[in-house]
Amino acid sequence: MATVARTFPRSTPRPRLRIRGRTIALHAFLIVVALAVAYPFYFMVTSSFKDLLEATKNPPDVFPAQLHPENYIEAWNRAPWGRYFVNTIFVSIAVTIGELVTASLAGYAFARMRFPAKSVLFIVFLATLMVPSEATIIPNYVLMSPSRNGCLGLPCLGWFDTYQVQIVPFIATAFSIFLMRQFFLSIPSELSDAARMDGAGHLRFLWSVALPLSVPALITAGLVTFLGSWNAFLWPLIVTTKPDFRPVQVGLSAFRQEAGSSYHLLMAASTFVIAPIVLLFLVAQRYLVQGIARTGIRG
């Protein structure tokens, strides 16, 4: 794991394939696999522009005979998508910011400060990664339910159908703390010495030296968190019921029931649900790829 945790140098010279024929075969193989992997996306987008009759044609046309962009309008109007998107964007951004703050602070403390019970706390944090969410989903669910008698000895939070129910439990994860700690550990101690000579405290050093140096790590952790939050499904499904608070993934799942066999509309809805995160990924691809290589998070 230690090997993986290192970043891969982009400039490493690679073994070169010598024979031209093999290069062609290589490309052929990669293209075939890439087509197989990417075909569902092509299929989704083209189907979203067909009418129902053409969309259910078997075998399907490669390209719609006539473009029906109005499918998007119809699909959009059949569910409160605007609301769903606002909810998802708000929740994802809030979770991302919250997690970056908690992870930076705690990661810094674990990396560069001394305090009693540090190792114990760190081990407890890492242990939470081992317990599957299925084990805790029931008590968490009860904890969120409306309060009158108290929940399992604690006051119930009564957070069903709110934003905080989708945000607060996720603004600190052992993983991000671990990631940030690794980064802060790699900052040369000369820098902190110099800062201390200048009379800068930990908070000042964190803010003006450590964080600016860790921008790649912050972007990485932020993107991974954002992706996880954007695609969250089971938890918001259980704890929200009003469209006012539901995220797009739950909305899409509900739309699948409601649209029934209107496949062309389903494809249009799937396309606009996926589009923002795909665009974000294309823009920020480099950081995300580095981030995965560094942390090995599987969403």
With contacts defined by CB under 8 A, how many residues of the chain interact with other proteins?
A: 135
Q: What number of helices (H) and strands (E) belong to the chain?
A: 16, 0
Taking CB under 8 A as the criterion, the residue among 154, 194, 215, 283 binding other proteins is: 154
Does residue 143 interact with other proteins by CB under 8 A? yes
With CB under 8 A as the contact rule, which of the stretches 68-76, 89-97, 207-215, 235-243 interacts with other proteins? Answer: 235-243
Taking CB under 8 A as the criterion, the residue among 134, 198, 199, 212 binding other proteins is: 134
How big is the CA angle at 88 (ends 295 and 68), to the nearest 5 degrees? 110
Does residue 207 interact with other proteins by CB under 8 A? no
Site string for other proteins, 246-285 (x = CB under 8 A): ---x--xxx-xxx-xx-x--xx-xx--xx--xx--xx--x
Rounded Cα gap, residues 277 and 23, in angstroms:
33
Q: Which is nearer to other proteins, 82 or 132 (CB)?
A: 132
Q: Which is nearer to other proteins, 67 or 242 (CB)?
A: 242
Site string for other proteins, 75-114 (x = CB under 8 A): --------------------------xxx-xx-xxxxxxx
The residues, any chain, with a CB within 8 Å of residue 10's CB and separated by 6 or more, are: none
Does residue 62 interact with other proteins by CB under 8 A? no
Does residue 213 interact with other proteins by CB under 8 A? no
Residue 176 and residue 274 in contact, taking contact as beta carbons nearer than 8 Å: no
Does residue 37 interact with other proteins by CB under 8 A? yes
Residue 271 and residue 203 in contact, taking contact as beta carbons nearer than 8 Å: no
Rounded Cα gap, residues 205 and 207, in angstroms:
5
Burial category of 190 from C-beta neighbours within 10 Å (exposed 0-12, middle 13-18, buried 19 and up): exposed
Q: Which is nearer to other proteins, 21 or 299 (CB)?
A: 299
Does residue 211 interact with other proteins by CB under 8 A? no
Element (H, E) at 41: helix 20-47
Q: Which 3-state string (H, E, C) describes 63-97?
A: CCCCCCCHHHHHHHHCCCHHHHHHHHHHHHHHHHH
Taking CB under 8 A as the criterion, the residue among 32, 65, 67, 142 binding other proteins is: 142
Does residue 61 interact with other proteins by CB under 8 A? no
Does residue 28 interact with other proteins by CB under 8 A? no
The residues, any chain, with a CB within 8 Å of residue 111's CB and separated by 6 or more, are: 180, 181, 182, 184, 185
Name the residue among 134, 289, 272 with its Cα closest to residue 224.
Answer: 289
Does residue 164 interact with other proteins by CB under 8 A? no
Taking CB under 8 A as the criterion, the residue among 20, 77, 131, 199 binding other proteins is: 131
